[in-house]
Amino acid sequence: MQNRSTDRRVVVGALRIAAGAAVLVAIVTQIVSRVAGGVFDPAEYFSFFTIQSGLINIVILAVGGVMALRLPHDTVVYTTVRASVVAYAVVTGIVYNLLLRGAPERELVGPQWPTEILHVVAPIVIVLDWLLSPGRPALPWSALRVALVYPVAWLAYTLLRGVATGLYPYPFIDPATNGWGSVIAYIAGLTAFIFALVALVIAYGRRFGRPAGAAAPSTRRLPRVMQRSRGEAL
């Protein structure tokens, strides 16, 4: 049974590394396409939530891949960050496909497949990784405190930059679109949605994950075996 679990961890590790590489290739392809087209603005490009969260995804998938190849289970710190990243991936996919898909001013220069990788494939892979991968410790509810750290920091930067330059990465947070009332409503809704998603992710992990700090099955059985052996010897 332990060998089967180890084999699954190896497969998970390889898939995570491959997924992280795919996200990296998608981002690099977009940058190269924009540079070739003479429209690459680093300040603009790296201000998108999708791109920043995509870079986070690369790190999380790469670290998680190596961890799966080397350790029998993921660490609590890694899983805490990963729980929030799952929510960010879901938000990225939903917001793009419901609000931004097909908007001409938001279509990226170059081939379309990197956009699909970042907004469709990567979110699906990250969610499936959370649902199906072995070795995930159950998290305490205090892990929710991490959920909004990055979104709040991104939002503060985005609004300050927008006020200073008049440039916003998305129309729904641009007050010129429908006014500040609409911006505040979107911010409140997305904040609540992210928090609820992370709570749902943690709840799933607590229901089906490995209790944090629990010993591996083989080590829990060892004292019983030793105790039975002693009894037989006596």
Supply the DSSP symbol for 68: H
Per-domain residue ranges of the chain: 2-215
Cβ(45)–Cβ(51) below 8 Å: yes
Percent of the chain whose predicted confidence (pLDDT) is above 90: 74
Tell me which residue has tokens 């995804």. 57
* CA–CA gap between residue 65 and residue 201 (Å, rounded): 20
pLDDT in tens, 4-52: 667 889 999 999 999 999 999 999 999 999 999 899 999 999 999 999 9
Query: How confident is the prediction for the chain on average, in pLDDT?
Result: 87
Strand pairing report for 210-211 and 137-138: parallel
Q: What average pLDDT score do residues 44-64 get?
A: 96
> What pLDDT is recorded for position 4?
66
- Does residue 1 have a pLDDT over 80? no
Tell me the residue type at 231: G
Cβ(155)–Cβ(187) below 8 Å: yes
- Does residue 228 have a pLDDT over 50? no
Alpha helices in the chain (DSSP H): 2-36, 42-45, 49-70, 76-95, 113-116, 122-132, 149-165, 175-178, 180-208, 217-233
What is the pTM (predicted TM-score) of this model? 0.84
Q: What average pLDDT score do residues 138-167 get?
A: 94
Q: What average pLDDT score do residues 115-143 get?
A: 94
> What pLDDT is recorded for position 41?
93
